[in-house]
Every structure is written in C-alpha cells, then in structure tokens.
Amino acid sequence: MNKRLPTGLYALTPDSADDDWLAEAVAAAIRGGATAVQYRSKSVDAARRLRQASRLGEACRAGGALFIVNDSLELARAVGADGLHIGRDDGDPATVRAALGPQAILGVSCYDAFERALAMRGIADYCAFGSVFASAVKPAAVRAPLELFTRARGAGMHAVAIGGIDAGNAGQVAAAGAAAVAVITAVFGQAGNAAHTDASAIEANARRIVEAFGSGLQAAGAMSSTSTAR
C-alpha cells in the first residue's frame, strides 16, 4: 500500500496559545511549500489542544498538506488527522500501530539509532533522525550524523531529518538522503516572542527552505549521474 508521506518541508508547529495566529501561520507555511504539518503542543490545556488541532487540520486539508499529530493517539483520532508521530516515551510502536490502523501514517523518532529505525520497518511509515544540527528547541538533544540518511535511503527507508535545520543547511540534508526536513524555528520564528512572526515572513521562510532542499536533491542527482557515467 503506497501512502503519501511528508517530503521536502515538514513544518512542526511552535507552542502558542494564540489560536488565530497559529492557524494563519500554518496556512502560510503551506503556501510556502510545506507538504505536511505536525501539531506539537506542550504547554496548553487539553481543550485548547483539541481546538487548535481541529483548526490546523482544516487548514491542512484546505491547503492540500498532510496533518500529523505529535504524541497523542486520542487527539489524532478526535480530529481525523492523517497520522501520528511518536517518540521513545509515547508507547510501544507496534501497539500504537495496531490501535492507529494500517491506513494512517505513523512516524517514529529514532534519534541517532539506525538499529531502532531498522526495527521500525513494517511498523512505521517513516523514521526521524535528529538533532542533525544544534537545535534551539532541544539544545541538549543527541546529534545524528548525516550518514544516517544515506544508510536509511540505501535500506529503502523514508527518513525525516529534524533539529537545527534552516535554508542554509537543508540542501546538505537532502543531498545526504533525507526525504523531508522537519522544521520549527526557521519557519515560524523564535518561540516566546511577544510579537509573532507575520504570515508573509513565514511563507517566505518556508519557500527558502523548500528551494534549498530542492537544490540539494538536484545536486545529489547530478553527482549520482556523473558517478554512473564513469
């Protein structure tokens, strides 16, 4: 069964209690080229999470982007999300897959562990490695080398890169073999700012990352063609 999965820019939402801004920000990221959005919220209450996730799901459907929920199977089900992303502490992936069903997308954080990614084959639709670069969101996160994406691509895995990615380095990650880059700050701006990044800036941020990722893919393709010709 072929599923549509996150490719290119995979936008991850910042924490915000401003429902209107968050919906506008996600719509702007999609206009800028994000193919998928993951709703991540660690600070608001359950009622607001449900309200925000419902609105963001609508924005993704309107813009043609995938909508994925972080951590919560219950929330993903409640809002009819396209899928769920889980980490090491969010339950056994096989059990989560059984509860989620075969049609939905399941992503699993694999940090810097290629063996964990291998174990997820047949369970998860994509694995996420990171932090690839220094991350303002998780400064203490383990670092994942770019070679993981080359190994994952060689093993036929759909690998997503996360951590410190921006327009200046997205091309490197694409060239290494990542299918998508998961980005928060370089799209939506620094968390905690009193004045949220405006929609036009978010759209431009997203577009720059998409272009950089595409350039990385083209460069990798050209190098591959040259090597084959030799």
Q: What is the pLDDT of residues 108-153, one digit of tens each?
A: 999 999 999 999 999 999 999 999 999 877 887 889 999 999 999 9
218 and 46 Cβ atoms separated by less than 8 Å? no
pLDDT of residue 1: 57
d(CA 187, CA 202): 6
The pLDDT of residue 19 is 95
- Give 195-206 pLDDT, tens digit per residue: 688 999 999 999
55 is known as an active-site residue: no
DSSP-assigned beta bridge partners for residue 95? none
Looking at residue 221, its pLDDT comes to: 72
Average pLDDT per block of 10 residues along the chain, 230 residues long: 92 95 97 98 93 98 98 96 96 96 97 97 97 86 94 97 97 98 94 74 98 93 54
Rounded Cα–Cα distance for residues 157 and 115 (Å): 12
pTM over 0.85: yes
Q: Tell me the C-alpha distance between 170 and 214, whole Å.
A: 9
Give me the catalytic one of 16, 109, 131, 135.
Answer: 109
Residue 135's pLDDT is 84
What does the alpha-carbon distance between residue 125 and residue 57 come to, in Å, rounded to a whole number? 20
Q: What is the pLDDT of residue 136?
A: 79
**Given the residues 51, 77, 138, 153, the one annotated as active site:** 138
* Catalytic entry in 3, 40, 51, 116: 40
Q: What is the pLDDT of residue 42?
A: 84
Residue 109 annotated in active site: yes
Confidence (pLDDT) at 224: 54
Annotated active-site residue 40? The verdict is yes
- Backbone torsion region of residue 177, taken as left when φ is above 0, otherwise alpha when ψ lies between -120 and 50, otherwise beta: left
pLDDT for 220: 77
- Domains of the chain plus CATH, in order, are 8-229 (3.20.20.70)
